[in-house]
Structures are given as structure tokens and as C-alpha cells.
């Protein structure tokens, strides 16, 4: 494990330099820590002009052998997966490595019997329960490609994703509970499948004993399909470059894209970053509070920790149920050593007051992480003082769905910390800041576009079914570089501070939405002619959604509250409740240039309350629109 685990800041510097001087040898050595059927000879092929990267292409392996089988020799009875239920008075469920291995094999046998084969897509739409992890790993054992959809997305959003990647089967549950809310997942799946004929079967896990409709011959109960299956399933060999999963994420265009990750590179990079960012030690309990429906859950609940033989925890509930101390209560209950959450959760718990966290000593904690959006200084300091009790490293992890794993971050208790700075790049990561002309910015403290000049093992491989989209999105802005879409600056010590998105992407509570995607959803409403959506700073959510909506003249007679409620419904139906705008302002027209382009810059300034900084409006078709909109700009709260 000498090459694998970074032991000090000097060790980091040494390894970082090696990883830049000779990246291929660096990752080849890390790859040797894993179990291969055939060790790769072709280590890296890449071309940032076309956006094609291949790592370990001729290697052969099965990822679940690395996540499960190889730990059976010395960790068969160690806890692999801990599950903490929504309800305070229900029992924790835990799986040892041996039990998880058996459960995964059983389910893999069931999938095999149904006819799921290597390369088939499998849609997973499930609550945060152990069966979600088991389902993903069973797919991986077969070489099938899982496509997990966050269970907060609507039937339409689920349907769109399925139409794009054509899964053979869907795995779901009767329902989901979070806090005191319940959602009937199975009926959402039924609705999503209405126009789809390529889904052969739906497997339903009975999580909540809900009364659900079963469609004869298509729908199967999880417990029935696994009942008589064997606990042995011989892992299917995949190549290093076979796709492991597809995960949809939003971009600046309307339709979410299916980010594809490949088996070997993703495994190696998530394991490496998990171990080093969190400085995991034997017997530690690692807890990431993300939902597995997002990349953070894929990489740091499932793949990274299990690849390292760690104990990883899943939580079904929310931080404020039954009270706003649930996180701290769980940390004490399971003696959690490393904790990873989102700034939005930290800010919301901060708003509840320190009396919820102060009574908890949280002695087991060593490293506490923040991920998904910029963490402001106040939240960073609160997290460090009240959760970390000033003894734990706060690691701010910058990365993206497309990067697969953490790219820029402090390494727990090893690296220097600086509030609001994500910090230094991980070994193998070569960031640059580019100016508008595409020149590399060398000076300190100058803002630029954050790009990467060399591939790391878990870089996005393609966007499913449409590689051109991948090339255009990530590799065409600055030829020869991977373009992240974020602005950042670097201090004199080389530490990076992420400023935020520079494209039309809004990050609401760590959830990513394209402005066009939300506008499309709003425009589905019959009363709406057109709309423009921008993000504005929000105390808890980081960013919130502000929508300017032009309505049909007849709709002006409608009661405003019900009009806004119906727009909320349109968004909830098209995407999900998470995308409902915080503010909707009804306007007569939008500020447009003479060529018809909406001037979002102006709308953003109005949303931010910086009307005096709007600047020149003379290029607008009708400059008077601006004063009309800003006069009425009001903060109508969501209902
Ligand atoms: C976007 C990626 C990181 C995985 C979960 C979100 C923003 C992410 C940070 C951070 C500042 C961050 C960026 C990035 N972001 N982490 N530590 N500091 N901003 O993945 O949904 O793909 O979103 O989230 O803007 O581009 P995602």
C-alpha cells in the first residue's frame, strides 16, 4: 500500500510531482494494487481534440471482485455496509463483506435468469436502502450498465432518461420515505413506462408494504426473484474500458446528458481519492450523506469505500427528522470517523442553531468533508468549530459528475486548510486557469476558466449515444483541454478557490440544473408564452432559481397564486419538485437583443438585487422592458 496511501504533505508533494512527470507509470503502479484477470498493457490512449480517453483498455477484470471477493480473505466478517433507517426507533441493518457478497451474487443470479446480459442497461429508481447498492453491484457483476435515477425526479424525467438509454429492466421499490413524507415510487415507474415498450421487466422491492398495482408478467417482486437463487455468481469479465454506468446530469442545453464512466479507471480513481482525501484507516466508519442518485453517492458511498475494504454507511432519512440533530446522533451511534455532506445541509443546520450540535461530543470524527457547491466562509467556520470541534480537517472536495472522483481538495489532516479554498489538486490532476483567449494564466489570484490539461483515470468517456455532444461540451471550448464550466482562481501557494459556474447551469443545494431545462418545463404550462431562468444567491441553498415568465394575455385574469402554483406543477411534472423556482415573476416581455437573444446578464442582476449595476441597455430591442421588470421584481416565495 506504499504507493497507494499518501502519508504526509511531503509525500503528497513527491507523489504529485511523479504523477505529473510520468502519469502513466504513476497510475500503472496504483493499478497494481487491484485484482485483474489480465493486467493491462495498453495503459492510456487519449486525444482531447476528439474527447476520447481510454485507460487500461486491454485489461480484464470484474469490478465487484475488487469491491467484494478480494476482501473475503481478511475482512469476511467486517461490516461493509451499514444502513441507518429514516425512523429513529428502527434498527440499523448491517452487511458484512461476506453477506454483501452473497446478496449481490443472489441478485446477479436473478438478473441473469431474467435475461440481463453484459452491456444491457438497467434502470434503478430506488430509495436509499441497501438493496439499491446491491442492485448496482449485481449489475456490475454481470457487466450490465446501471443507470440510477434520483428518486426525487418525476415520471417524465425518468421516462426521458429511459428513452435515451433504453434499459432492459427497471429496479424499483413500492415506495420511499424521507422524514415524514412518503412517495409511491412504483406508480411513478408505471407512469414513466406508459409509452415505453423496450422494458421487459420491473423488479420491485417491498420496502414499505404499500398497496401497489402489479402488472402481470412484467412486474416481479424482488423477494420472489432472489428466493431460490444461489449465493455464488461467477463474475463476468469486462475490459477496463467497458462502461460501468450512465448517470444523467444537466448542462447548458435543455436535455440532460448521460455521462458514461468506464470500469477500471473509475474504480481506481474513486478508490484512490477515497483513501487519500479521507485518510481512511482500518475500523473507521465512513459516512457520506449524499443520495446514491447523484455521482457523490456512486463514488463515495458505493465504489470508492468498498474498493478500499472500508465500512460505508447509507442513511435513508434527512438531517432534520425527527429533529435537527439527526446527523450528530448518528455519528455518535456509529462512531463515524469520516463524514461527508453538502454546504446546503451545513447552512440549514447552522440556521437551526448550535444548540442542536453542541451537546454532541462527536469524538470519533477525524475528517469532515464538504462537496457539491462552494462553501462560504461562515459555514466553513461553523462546520470546523461545531462539528469538527476544531480538531478535524475540513476537506472541501471540488469535482463533477464528469470527473468521476475528487479533483481538487485537501487530504484529511495532511494538507494546509484555507476556508473557501478547495485546495490543491490530487495526484494525477493537472488543472490550469485559462483566460478568454485560451491562454494559461500563470499569475496568482487571477480568475480564469478551470480546465484540465491531462486525463485522469475517471474522466468522462462519452455522453451516451452521442459522443459529439461530449466533445462539444467539454473539449471544444478550449481545444486541447477538458473544460469544467467553472470559474476559479489560484493563490500564491497554488491553492484553488472555486468561484462557480460560468455557463447556464444553476447549482441549487448541490443539485445541478440547466436554465434551459427549467425554462422548457415552465413553457409546458398552457398559460406561458416564454420564460427566462437565472440563478441568484440564496442563504441556505447556495443558489436558488428565479424565473421570469411571460404569460398569455388571458392568463392575466387568473388568480396569481393559482397561476404560480400551476407553473410549480409544470416544473414538478417535467423534472421534479427539486427544480421548482424559488421566485416566479410574471412579466410582459423579456429583455432581448435585436437578434432576439435573451439578455440573461440583466435578469441575473435584477434577481441579485443589483439593479444599479445593470449597465448599458442600449443594445436591447426595447430598453424600457428593464425598468418595468426591475420595478416589479418581487420575491414571491415558493408555496
Ligand atoms: C459542479 C458539479 C462534486 C460532485 C457533486 C456535484 C460545483 C462541486 C464543489 C466545491 C465549489 C463545487 C461546481 C461543479 N461544485 N463541488 N467543492 N466547491 N463548487 O456534481 O452535479 O456534477 O456538479 O458543482 O460548479 O462544476 P455535479
Read off the pLDDT of residues 63-74 as tens digits, 9 standing for 90 and up: 999 999 999 999
| Atom 11 of ligand 1: nearest residue by CA position | 374
Kindly indicate the confidence band of residue 619, based on its pLDDT and cuts at 50, 70 and 90.
Answer: confident
**Residue 637: its pLDDT value, please?**
38
Query: pLDDT tens-digit profile of 465-474?
Result: 999 999 999 9
| Atom 18 of ligand 1: nearest residue by CA position | 374
pLDDT greater than 80 at residue 353: yes
Kindly indicate the confidence band of residue 207, based on its pLDDT and cuts at 50, 70 and 90.
Answer: very high
Mean pLDDT of 545-569: 92
pLDDT greater than 80 at residue 246: yes
Kindly indicate the confidence band of residue 639, based on its pLDDT and cuts at 50, 70 and 90.
Answer: very low
On average, the pLDDT of the chain sits at 95
Extended beta strands in 381-425, E state? 393-397
**Residue 609: its pLDDT value, please?**
85
| Atom 2 of ligand 1: nearest residue by CA position | 400
Burial class for 217, CB neighbours closer than 10 Å (0-12, 13-18, 19+): exposed
Kindly indicate the confidence band of residue 634, based on its pLDDT and cuts at 50, 70 and 90.
Answer: low
| Atom 21 of ligand 1: nearest residue by CA position | 512
Sign of the four-CA dihedral 99, 103, 109, 112:
negative
Global confidence as pTM: 0.95
**Could you tell me the distance, in angstroms and rounded to a whole number, from the CA of residue 239 to the centre of ligand 1?**
29
pLDDT greater than 90 at residue 167: yes
**Residue 638: its pLDDT value, please?**
36
pLDDT greater than 50 at residue 514: yes
**Could you tell me the distance, in angstroms and rounded to a whole number, from the CA of residue 67 to the centre of ligand 1?**
26
For a pLDDT cut of 90, what percent of the chain falls above it? 90
pLDDT greater than 80 at residue 252: no
**Could you tell me the distance, in angstroms and rounded to a whole number, from the CA of residue 398 to the centre of ligand 1?**
6
- Residue 246 CB partners (closer than 8 Å, separation 6+): 121, 145, 146, 147, 165, 258, 259, 260, 464
Residues lining ligand 1, Cβ inside 6 A? 249, 294-296, 371-374, 396-401, 422, 484-486, 498, 500-501, 507, 510, 512
| Atom 5 of ligand 1: nearest residue by CA position | 372
Number of H helices, E strands in the chain: 20, 30
**Residue 221: its pLDDT value, please?**
98
Q: Which atom of ligand 1 is nearest to the CA of 402?
A: 22
Query: pLDDT tens-digit profile of 26-48?
Result: 999 999 999 999 999 999 999 99
Query: pLDDT tens-digit profile of 571-598?
Result: 999 999 999 999 999 999 999 888 788 8
| Cβ count near 632 (within 10 Å) | 12
pLDDT greater than 60 at residue 150: yes
**Could you tell me the distance, in angstroms and rounded to a whole number, from the CA of residue 139 to the centre of ligand 1?**
27
Q: Which atom of ligand 1 is nearest to the CA of 507?
A: 24
Query: CA–CA separation, 90 vs 26, rounded Å?
Result: 46
Amino acid at each position: 500500500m506504499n504507493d497507494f496511501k499518501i502519508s504526509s504533505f511531503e509525500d503528497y508533494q513527491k507523489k504529485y510531482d511523479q504523477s505529473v512527470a510520468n502519469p502513466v507509470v504513476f497510475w500503472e503502479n496504483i493499478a497494481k494494487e487491484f485484482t485483474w484477470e489480465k493486467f493491462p498493457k495498453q495503459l492510456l490512449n487519449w486525444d482531447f481534440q476528439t474527447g476520447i480517453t481510454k485507460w487500461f483498455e486491454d485489461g480484464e477484470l470484474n469490478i465487484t471482485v475488487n469491491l467484494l471477493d478480494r476482501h473475503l480473505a481478511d475482512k469476511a466478517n467486517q461490516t461493509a455496509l451499514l444502513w441507518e433507517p429514516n425512523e429513529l426507533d428502527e434498527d440499523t441493518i448491517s452487511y458484512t463483506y461476506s453477506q454483501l457478497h452473497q446478496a449481490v451474487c443472489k441478485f446477479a443470479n436473478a438478473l441473469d435468469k431474467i435475461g440481463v446480459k453484459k452491456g444491457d442497461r438497467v434502470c434503478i429508481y430506488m430509495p436509499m436502502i441497501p438493496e439499491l447498492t446491491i442492485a448496482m453491484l449485481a449489475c456490475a457483476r454481470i457487466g450490465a450498465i446501471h443507470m440510477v435515477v434520483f428518486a426525487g425526479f418525476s415520471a417524465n424525467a425518468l421516462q426521458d432518461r429511459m428513452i435515451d438509454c433504453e434499459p432492459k429492466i427497471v429496479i424499483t421499490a413500492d415506495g420511499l420515505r424521507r422524514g415524514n413524507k412518503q412517495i409511491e415510487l412504483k406508480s411513478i415507474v408505471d407512469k414513466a413506462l406508459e409509452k415505453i415498450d423496450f422494458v421487459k421487466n420491473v423488479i420491485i422491492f417491498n420496502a414499505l408494504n404499500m398497496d401497489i398495482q402489479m402488472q402481470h408478467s412484467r412486474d416481479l417482486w424482488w423477494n420472489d426473484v432472489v428466493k431460490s437463487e444461489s449465493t455464488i455468481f461467477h463474475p463476468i469479465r469486462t475490459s477496463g474500458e467497458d462502461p460501468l454506468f450512465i448517470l444523467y446530469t444537466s448542462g447548458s442545453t435543455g436535455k440532460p446528458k448521460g455521462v458514461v464512466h468506464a470500469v477500471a479507471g473509475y474504480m481506481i480513481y474513486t478508490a484512490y481519492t477515497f483513501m487519500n482525501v479521507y485518510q481512511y484507516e482500518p475500523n473507521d466508519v465512513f459516512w457520506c450523506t449524499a443520495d446514491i442518485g447523484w455521482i457523490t453517492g456512486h463514488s463515495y458511498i458505493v465504489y470508492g469505500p468498498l474498493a478500499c475494504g472500508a465500512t460505508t454507511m447509507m442513511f435513508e432519512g434527512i438531517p432534520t427528522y425527527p429533529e435537527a440533530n439527526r446527523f450528530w446522533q448518528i455519528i455518535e451511534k456509529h462512531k463515524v470517523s469520516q463524514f461527508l455532506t453538502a454546504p446546503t445541509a451545513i447552512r440549514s443546520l447552522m440556521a437551526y442553531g448550535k444548540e442542536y450540535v453542541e451537546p454532541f461530543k462527536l469524538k470519533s470524527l477525524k475528517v469532515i468533508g464538504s462537496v457539491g457547491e462552494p462553501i462560504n466562509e461562515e459555514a466553513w467556520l461553523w462546520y470546523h468549530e461545531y462539528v469538527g470541534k476544531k480538531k478535524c480537517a475540513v476537506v472541501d472536495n471540488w469535482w463533477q459528475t464528469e470527473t468521476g472522483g475528487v479533483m481538487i481538495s485537501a487530504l484529511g489532516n495532511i494538507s494546509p486548510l484555507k476556508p473557501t479554498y478547495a485546495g490543491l489538486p490530487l495526484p494525477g490532476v493537472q488543472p490550469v486557469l485559462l483566460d478568454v483567449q485560451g491562454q494559461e494564466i500563470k499569475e496568482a489570484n487571477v480568475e480564469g476558466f478551470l480546465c484540465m490539461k491531462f486525463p485522469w483515470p475517471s474522466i468522462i468517456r462519452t455522453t451516451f449515444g452521442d459522443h459529439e455532444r461530449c466533445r462539444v461540451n467539454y473539449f471544444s471550448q478550449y481545444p486541447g483541454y477538458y473544460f469544467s464550466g467553472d470559474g476559479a482562481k489560484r493563490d500564491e501557494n497554488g491553492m484553488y478557490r472555486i468561484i462557480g459556474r460560468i455557463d447556464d447551469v444553476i447549482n441549487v443545494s448541490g443539485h445541478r440544473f440547466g436554465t434551459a431545462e427549467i425554462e422548457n418545463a415552465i413553457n409546458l404550462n398552457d398559460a406561458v408564452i416564454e420564460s427566462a431562468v437565472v440563478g441568484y444567491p440564496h442563504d441556505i441553498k447556495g443558489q436558488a432559481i428565479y424565473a421570469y415568465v411571460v404569460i398569455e394575455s388571458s392568463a392575466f385574469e387568473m388568480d396569481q397564486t393559482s397561476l404560480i402554483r400551476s407553473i410549480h406543477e409544470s416544473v414538478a411534472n417535467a423534472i421534479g419538485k427539486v427544480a421548482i423556482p424559488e421566485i416566479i415573476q410574471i412579466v410582459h416581455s423579456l429583455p432581448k437583443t435585436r437578434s432576439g437573444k435573451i439578455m440573461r446578464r440583466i435578469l441575473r442582476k435584477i434577481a441579485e438585487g443589483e439593479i444599479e449595476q445593470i449597465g448599458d441597455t442600449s443594445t436591447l430591442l426595447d430598453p424600457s422592458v428593464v425598468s418595468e421588470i426591475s420595478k416589479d421584481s418581487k420575491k414571491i416565495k415558493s408555496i
